[in-house]
Amino acid sequence: MTDILSDRLKIWKNWLTHEKKVSPHTLNAYDRDVSDFLDFLGPHLGKAPTFQDLETLRAADFRAFLASRQRDGLSATSLNRVLSSVRSFFRKQEKDGVLHNPYIKIVRSPKKPKTLPRPVSPKAAKLLLNSSRHSPGTGQRWLQDRDTAVLSLLYGCGLRINEALSLNYQDRPHGEVLRILGKGNKERLVPVLPAVREAIEAYINECPFRFREDGPLFFGKQGKRLNARTIQHRVQELRRRLGLPETATPHALRHSFATHLLKNGGDLRTIQELLGHASLSSTQVYTDLEIDTLLKVYENAHPKSSGT
């Protein structure tokens, strides 16, 4: 790899970290995708690629790379991320005025299969919350209260798990609303039910660690900020004990929040705001889910559904 290409990669990663403020997980994925792209260009071009070579690439070259990754077994979703990673690198070069390649912009994103979120039923959601509060699995009362508080935020407020675990002590709900900093540093206000506030207060009262205003709200056993994997493992244990399907995950509680609001008369625009979706189309999948559910009910219950 030439020195200038190596330097431009460092500048791009620094830009992603400090200006775009992407998560470490996203940074690693983008870095890996662009490294795979540069590795592909060697055999594809017949020589080690230079920074100048990137400007001469055509749409067919980018498509050939995506085709090679597809042959490696990547799904349409992963291919979309790969293309986004490469586009991000080229976008930064164009922004800095050091490279311009119009062909990367005309390459179409692979079409992703349409998938619907899989919420849990209201009964299953309540079971998860009650079981996390009373189950002896964690061995310590404060851990049970902590897990209940986190799951209450996911189901009661529709938070993403990382949004809940990123909360600092000073962010805890003091009234009827909670201020959340979501994807793209977009801020939103979500209502907080009394049951959610009570769950958080119960955890705070039992937690053995000292809270600081700018420190984490949720602690792990070692006194550091709680990580998502711990909550995922906890829900996995609970659903096995309760006989719930594998689709009963922490993220499914967020889907359940939206689906149950819609079932009870919530409008899409309001649900969009509560979820922090940038586009209404992201929220409209819940409408599709409702239609899918209604069709299943019709097929199972309607006397004409069997064709008789």
Instruction: Report the distance separating Cα 251 and Cα 125, nearest Å.
Output: 12
Q: CA nearest 83: which of 109, 51, 64, 53?
A: 109
Q: Catalytic residue among 13, 69, 234, 277, which?
A: 277
DSSP one-letter code for 210: P
Kindly report the CA angle at 187 between 122 and 119, in degrees rounded to 5? 20
DSSP result, 65-122: HHHHHHHTT--HHHHHHHHHHHHHHHHHHHHTTS---THHHHSPPPPPPP----PPPH
Q: How many residues does the chain have?
A: 308
Catalytic residue among 160, 188, 239, 260: 160
254 an active-site residue?
yes
Contact 172, 140 (CB under 8 A): no
Q: How far, in Å, CA of 222 to CA of 216, rounded?
A: 13
Which sign does the torsion angle of CA 278, 104, 116, 292 carry? positive
**Of the residues 63, 87, 251, 263, which is catalytic?**
251
- For 49, the token pair is 């690629």
- 146 included as an active-site residue: no
Which residue type does 16 have? L
Q: Which residue do the tokens 């559910």 mark?
A: 293
> Does an H or E element contain 149, and which?
helix 141-157
- Among 197, 254, 255, 260, which one carries the catalytic annotation? 254
Please identify which of the residues 112, 183, 212, 224 carries the catalytic annotation: 183
User: Is 286 an active-site residue?
Assistant: yes
Active site residue 251: yes
Question: Which candidate in 30, 155, 203, 286 is catalytic?
Answer: 286
Indicate which residues carry an active-site annotation: 160, 183, 251, 254, 277, 286
